[in-house]
Amino acid sequence: MRERIFRAAVIALVVGIVLLPIYWMVSTSLKSNKEITQETTLYPHAPSFDNYLHLFSEKQFGSYLANSLVVTVLSVVIALACGTMGAYAIARFRLRFGLERKIGLSLLVLRIVPPVVILIPVYLLMLRLRLLDTWLGLVMTYTAFNITFCVWMMESFFREIPVDLEEAAMVDGDSRFSAFRRIALPLAAPGLAATAIFAVIVTFNEFLFALALTATPRAMTMPRGTATLIGRIDTDWASMSAAGVLGALPIVIFSLMVQRHLVRGLTMGAVK
Amino acid sequence: MTAIARRQGRERLQGAGLDLALPYLLLAPSVLIVLGVLVYPLWDGLRASTKLYRYGTPIDDIGLQNYLKLWSDDQFRNSLWVTIRFVSLSVAVETVLGFALALFCLREFKGIRLLRTILIVPMVITPVVVAIVFRLIYASDAGMFTAISQALGGGQARILGDPTNAFLGLVALDVWEWTPLMFLILLAGLQSLPQEPFEAARVDGAGAWRSFVDLTLPMMRPILAIAIVLRTIDAFGTFDQVFVLTHGGPGEATRLVSLYGYDTSFKFQETGYAAALFVTVGLVVLAFALAAVRLLRSVDQT
């Protein structure tokens, strides 16, 4: 009995600590600026969605959302296609000079270095290519980062699949490539899902490169657009909290929907 | 699969003709994109770090002077010191809390699924939004602490205006955001441990504390080490949260090295100097990662 009460108390404490800050943002977003700063109420006394409507009508949040979706989908799909093939080559073939291992290692090193380290030269590159403030500039950057991640993840998934299955398919007349496509790829599907989910979350949430590479609603993504609000009007808590809720909502819903795969993707690598 | 079996598998699969070119064709797209968008810029960044920039354009080759300047730059040293303090405090707290929570959740019970679902939320929320969440609760006029304090008859809470409180506030944000990841990794690790030693210990009459110290801790050491290393590397690059929460203030109290580098480049247009700064930071992180891998291997072998 005592143990059960203790357990319930711990769970309540953890849930409270996690949810209370989020509650405060949601609650603030439903108040008027006057109620927020002058009355400082603990919950909205006259809840309204005005702050949200304001974001769409005055602050271009529709375009931010659209930009985010396009950039995320394109860069994740391209990276997954390229990265899966690359990972398969690294997992299954031995190349001259141990090339496949060297490539795998280089990609890992590129993953370890904090992205901020190459922010400046990527900015200079996009400046030279005239790709600042475009979808394409962001898609290129995110695709490259996602590839380093996809190759690393997918390689370990392919290694788990026994080679004999592909061999059997080739004995039955499959080409080397169709053995990959028909046998290995479907078997690696759970891994592919975990990789895709993780890449979607990281890409949708990315801020640093969006900050440096975009400047107008033409290409700004959701996190980037939210940040403009903070810079310009320091104490417009109403807009800021609504923007926060709006910015987080798509990715939180997505994550909760794909929870099972997500946990697998997050914890793998560390445990194995 | 053992390494030898794997190697044999690979050899058996290496066909002839067009199949010989296949691995190169499979690798080509990834390699080309990464070369163009990451490796070339890395090289370009090295070159930029040896140049003197005025208003964003290179005007002179100055060799390693940018790097020498870093040594005597008090603001750089301060930002490095703030970063090290931030990383070590955050990661330490996250590890202890995450481990405690994982041990607590090891035995299946009602409510654990709910707990796990809720714990996913902080780490998937956009970091920029996490910073907004914490700005909202810390704010002296609209904040949650102020609201609570006023409801209890007190005055305004002063958090982001005070150097120590702002720093601890940033650490609290990171702990809120990343303890769940520590928890998930360590829980998966705990669940993968073999059960026999624990049963044997119980038969021998060892208590919970003894079997934790003698069995759990040593067996969890590799996973703990990997989780700490991963989190440390990640925390070292923290940018979004501090950019939105405090932008380094008050004064330089929360100015992490990533933010200092960013401002040096994009606010003060000293591109070459900022490039040198980031090359240095990159090397420090790589050296740390390499040392950690070495250490892990040597622990593995003993």
DSSP string, B11-55: HHH--STHHHHHHHHHHHHHHHHHIIIIIHHHHHHHHHTTEEEET
Structural domains in chain A, sorted by start:
1-48 (no CATH), 58-267 (1.10.3720.10)
Contacts of A69 (CB under 8 A, 6+ apart): none
The pLDDT of residue A209 is 95
Chain-chain contact of B37 with A83 (C-beta, under 8 angstroms): no
User: Which residues touch B237 (CB under 8 Å, ≥6 apart)?
Assistant: A114, A115, A116, A117, B258, B285
Dihedral, B54, B56, B61, B64 alpha carbons, nearest 10 = 100
The confidence score (pLDDT) of residue B2 equals: 47
Phi and psi angles of residue A50, each rounded to the nearest 5 degrees, phi first = -55, -40
In degrees and rounded to multiples of 5, residue B103 shows phi and psi of -60, -40
Q: What is the pLDDT of residue B58?
A: 79
Per-residue confidence (pLDDT) for residue A59, from 0 to 100: 80
Q: Contact B233/A267, CB-based, under 8 Å?
A: no
Q: Is the pLDDT of residue A121 over 50?
A: yes
Residue bearing the bigger pLDDT, A125 or B106: A125
B residues 236-275 closer than 8 Å to A (CB): 236-237, 239-240, 243-244, 258, 261-262, 265-266, 271, 274-275
Q: What is the pLDDT of residue B300?
A: 61
Residue A133 vs residue B56, higher pLDDT: A133
pLDDT of the residue at B116: 83
Question: Does the bond joining A115 to the residue before it have cis omega, within 30 degrees of 0?
Answer: no
Distance between CA atoms of residues A40 and A115, nearest Å? 39
Residue A38 tokens read as 């002058």
- Complex ipTM above 0.90? no
Cα–Cα dist B21/B25, whole Å: 6
Helix (H) or strand (E) holding B58: strand B57-61
Give the closest residue to A201 by CA, choosing from A250, A153, A154, A244.
A250
Q: What is the pLDDT of residue B138?
A: 87
Whether the per-residue pLDDT at A270 is higher than 70: the answer is no
Average pLDDT over residues A236-251: 87
What fold is seen in the domain B69-301?
MetI-like fold (1.10.3720)
Helical segments of chain A, H only: 2-29, 33-34, 50-58, 61-92, 99-112, 119-128, 135-160, 164-171, 176-179, 185-187, 189-205, 208-213, 222-232, 237-257, 259-267
Between B94 and A152, the more confident residue is B94
- Chain A nearest CA to B201, separation (Å): 23
Among the partner residues A93, A107, A118, nearest to B45 by beta-carbon distance: A118
Rounded to the nearest integer, the mean pLDDT of chain A is 85
Q: Please name the helix (run of DSSP H) or strand (run of DSSP E) that holds residue B60, with its range, or none.
A: strand B57-61
Cβ atoms within 10 Å, residue A54: 16
CB atoms within 10 A of CB B36: 13
Per CB-CB distance under 8 Å, the chain A contacts of B146 are 40
Rounded to an integer, the average pLDDT of A81-101 is 87
Confidence of residue A189 (pLDDT cuts 50, 70, 90): confident
| Chain-chain contact of A22 with B133 (C-beta, under 8 angstroms) | yes
pLDDT given for residue B1 in this prediction = 42
Most trustworthy range by pLDDT among A23-27, A53-57, B117-121, B178-182: B178-182
Task: Kindly indicate the confidence band of residue A47, based on its pLDDT and cuts at 50, 70 and 90.
Answer: confident
The SS3 assignment for B166 reads helix
User: pLDDT value at position B301?
Assistant: 57
Q: Return the SS3 of B212.
A: helix
- d(CA B87, CA B288) in angstroms, rounded, equals 13
B10, B31, B147 member nearest A103 (Cβ): B31
pLDDT at B90: 96
Nearest chain B alpha carbon to A271: B189
Measure in Å the smallest separation between the Cα of B204 and chain A Cα atoms.
Answer: 24
- Count the neighbouring beta carbons within 10 Å of the beta carbon of residue B194: 9
Neighbouring C-beta atoms of residue B291, cutoff 10 Å = 11
- pLDDT bin (cut points 50, 70, 90) of residue A67 is very high
Question: Pairing state of beta strands B51-54 and B57-61?
Answer: antiparallel
Test mutation, B80, B106, B118, B132, chain A, max A CBs within 10 A: B132
Full pLDDT tens readout for chain B, 302 residues: 444 545 444 444 555 556 678 888 888 899 999 999 999 998 988 888 888 887 777 778 787 888 888 888 889 999 999 999 999 999 999 999 999 999 888 876 677 778 888 888 999 999 999 999 998 888 877 777 877 777 787 777 778 888 888 999 999 999 999 999 999 889 888 888 888 888 888 888 878 888 888 888 888 888 898 899 989 999 999 999 999 998 887 888 899 999 999 998 888 888 888 999 999 999 999 999 888 888 877 766 55
Amino acid at B141: D
The angle formed by the CA atoms of residues B19, B16 and A175, to the nearest 5 degrees, is: 45
Please, which pLDDT band fits residue A73 given cuts at 50, 70 and 90? very high
